[in-house]
Amino acid sequence: MKAMKSMKAGKAAGYDRVSLEMLRAGEEVVAGLLHTLFNLCWELKRVPVDWCKAVIVPVYKGRESQQHCKNYRGISLLSIVEKLYAKVLIERVMKETDGKIWDVQAGFRKGMGCTDQVFSMRMIAEKFLAKNQKVFCAFMDLEKAYDRVDRDLLWQTLNSFGLSAGLIQALESLYRDSSACVRINGVYSDWFDIHKGVRQGCVASPWLFNLFMDSCLQNLKVEECGLRMGELTVKCLLYADDQVILASSAAELQIMVTLMNASLKERGMKVNASKTKVMVFEREESKTICEIRIEGELNEQVDEFVYLGCVFSRDGRYDKDIERRVNAGNRVNGALHSIVKSQNVSKKARMAIHNAVLVPTLTYGSESWEWQKKHESRINAVEMRSLRSMVSE
């Protein structure tokens, strides 16, 4: 019952067409039946075949041609009952492993998020720039990271974290007969088997991916390179598969990137060298050249990079990031104009929309800004434009 209450309502049902609302309507009766079913699945280390089936619905990304498959994102619909069972299992896994994951990982961890890594990155750059020191960074891009996870290596990783054989086998049962089909306009394709990757749409997948990624970092953990900050050495920052490698020199950065690439490749992952970017935080106007290669391919060096939705500039300033927020806020104002001007929408509802949509858009990442009057004025101008639009008739 606890697992049912914690899940968000309004989610699409899977192949079995059982929705969360149906299960909640059954209250204690359904909860008791699910408890019996889950206990049976645990004892047998098997699950119903329908739980292993995914219905993939292509969703247009909203850009470029609709005739190309690459411009669609596949959304996997899984059984809601399977999600409840997976939630029960993964909560046990998280309880046993959360303290064992390297603290550079902030993805899908309680009390941590994107803004933590953005703040950490800003503070690192500020501290070194204040001492007129440089920070060498490589923003490494992984190609289809979730889909490339080797499942046999994943189970070995869980074992290395000290999880019981029974718990690993229970998780493995969700993957044993994995298959999927594609649904377009109510028409289903033929079913095909899936033998690789964590399950898209499964509540257990993000944490399983975290554990797998942690296993890819073992060689980097023992490497002596990195940024020295007192007694602490910072080598990288991660949010799921978004990673940035940090070093005090170009030579160190090359060593770390080569090591990280080798570790990832060994475990079946692939670094997209063409999308991996290099940047050097520095105060000097003259740009320090930092030539970093991955398997012979030279990575592009940039003056600014969007990391976890925030713009980082080589000089450490916030102007470009604030400009990005202002532009995003103006787009939101434009998109909401017809709604907030409608006589059918109450002022209370308009204010709720303002607080739920515009304010988070404007202030994302602002925890790490060093506020100046000119920045505050630009942000306030966008908000005031929205507020005036709401109250004017």
How many angstroms separate the CA atoms of 234 and 3, rounded? 37
Residues 139 and 50 in one domain: no
186 within domain boundaries: yes
- Of the candidates 279, 270, 242, 255, the one whose C-alpha atom is nearest the C-alpha of residue 116 is 242
Domain that holds residue 234: 114-145+213-307
Q: How high is the mean pLDDT of the chain?
A: 91
Residues 221 and 368 in one domain: no
Are 207 and 149 in contact by the 8 Å Cβ rule? The answer is no
- Does residue 3 carry a pLDDT above 80? no
178 within domain boundaries: yes
Segment 70-97, tens digit of pLDDT: 788 889 999 999 999 999 999 999 999 9
How many angstroms separate the CA atoms of 81 and 48, rounded? 10
Residues 58 and 85 in one domain: yes
pLDDT at 305: 96
Segment 5-50, tens digit of pLDDT: 777 878 888 888 888 888 888 888 888 999 999 999 999 999 999 9
Residues 298 and 360 in one domain: no
195 within domain boundaries: yes
- Does residue 222 carry a pLDDT above 90? no
pLDDT at 338: 83
- Does residue 143 carry a pLDDT above 70? yes
304-317 b/e with 16+ CB inside 10 Å = b? bbebbebbbbbbbe
pLDDT at 41: 95
**Residue 198: which pLDDT band, with cuts at 50, 70 and 90?**
very high
Residue range 250-277: average pLDDT?
94
Residues 222 and 196 in one domain: no
> How much of the chain, in percent, has pLDDT values that exceed 90?
68
Residues 137 and 266 in one domain: yes
278 within domain boundaries: yes
Final residue before a domain boundary, out of 307, 337, 368: 307
Segment 309-322, tens digit of pLDDT: 999 999 999 999 99
Segment 117-128, tens digit of pLDDT: 999 999 999 999
- Does residue 269 carry a pLDDT above 80? yes
- Of the candidates 366, 300, 325, 322, the one whose C-alpha atom is nearest the C-alpha of residue 139 is 300
pTM of the model: 0.90
87 within domain boundaries: yes
Query: In this structure, what CATH number is given to the domain that contains residue 292?
Result: 3.30.70
191 within domain boundaries: yes
Say which range, 46-55, 60-69, 312-321, has the weakest mean pLDDT: 60-69
Segment 236-258, tens digit of pLDDT: 999 999 999 999 999 999 999 99
Residue range 382-389: average pLDDT?
88
Residues 239 and 374 in one domain: no
pLDDT at 393: 59
- Does residue 163 carry a pLDDT above 90? yes
85 within domain boundaries: yes
pLDDT at 392: 67
76 residue type, one letter: S
